[in-house]
Amino acid sequence: MAASLDGLRVAFLVAPEGVEQVELTEPWRAVGEAGGQAELVSVSSGPVQAFNHLDKADTFTVDRTVDQVGSANYDGLVLPGGVANPDALRRYPEAVRFVGGFFSAQKPVAAICHAPWMLIEADVVRGRNVTSYPSLATDLRNAGANWADEQVVVDSGLVTSRTPDDLNAFCAKLVEEVAEGKHRAQARSAHREEAETG
């Protein structure tokens, strides 16, 4: 029996421009088909410009901005990729705090392709098992993650995948992890550095 997200809300965090469209629309569809409510969150209101690789694709309307909501408003977080998308987002401290809040609250987070750059910026990958677009492997290892070249990697509520080719596995696992609810290891990840230095 497929996991149900009835009554659950999932945030999709993207920059105003540069998100890879299929990495937004396919997980969004999966959340909806499982009965969940998806909301588009960004650093500013208005339309978001998606891309198919380097070509402009559709625009999507932002539901909430990061200064209006936090992890308490959602049951999970999806970070779509695209090279420009996470590279832009990580320059906004409020977006980085938004991501970190899900780890502190022990809530599931799913990141695909280049999106794990946001996980590095939020300092939540130390000691975690992850994957990503291959060019991020060194960045993730340098941030303390255990990187693997696999279709999808799940580590106690953290779901990561490499490319759009992995979307079927990514979507299935993100729905499963959000349906399971909180994962205590997420909070340990967010506070590991404090514990080690405290």
Three-state DSSP state, 115: coil
Among 53, 114, 171, 183, which one carries the catalytic annotation?
Answer: 114
| Cβ–Cβ under 8 Å, residues 42 and 62 | yes
Query: What length does the chain have?
Result: 198
Structure token digits, residue 18: 């540069």
Structure token digits, residue 17: 């421009």
Strands 129-130, 146-147: pairing is parallel
| Catalytic residue list contains 114 | yes
Structure token digits, residue 111: 């990141």
| Cβ–Cβ under 8 Å, residues 73 and 43 | no
Three-state DSSP state, 103: helix
| Cβ–Cβ under 8 Å, residues 108 and 178 | yes
| Cβ–Cβ under 8 Å, residues 37 and 11 | no
Among 113, 171, 183, 191, which one carries the catalytic annotation?
Answer: 113
CA–CA separation, 129 vs 134, rounded Å? 14
| Cβ–Cβ under 8 Å, residues 134 and 164 | no
Q: What are the residue numbers of the active site? A: 113-114
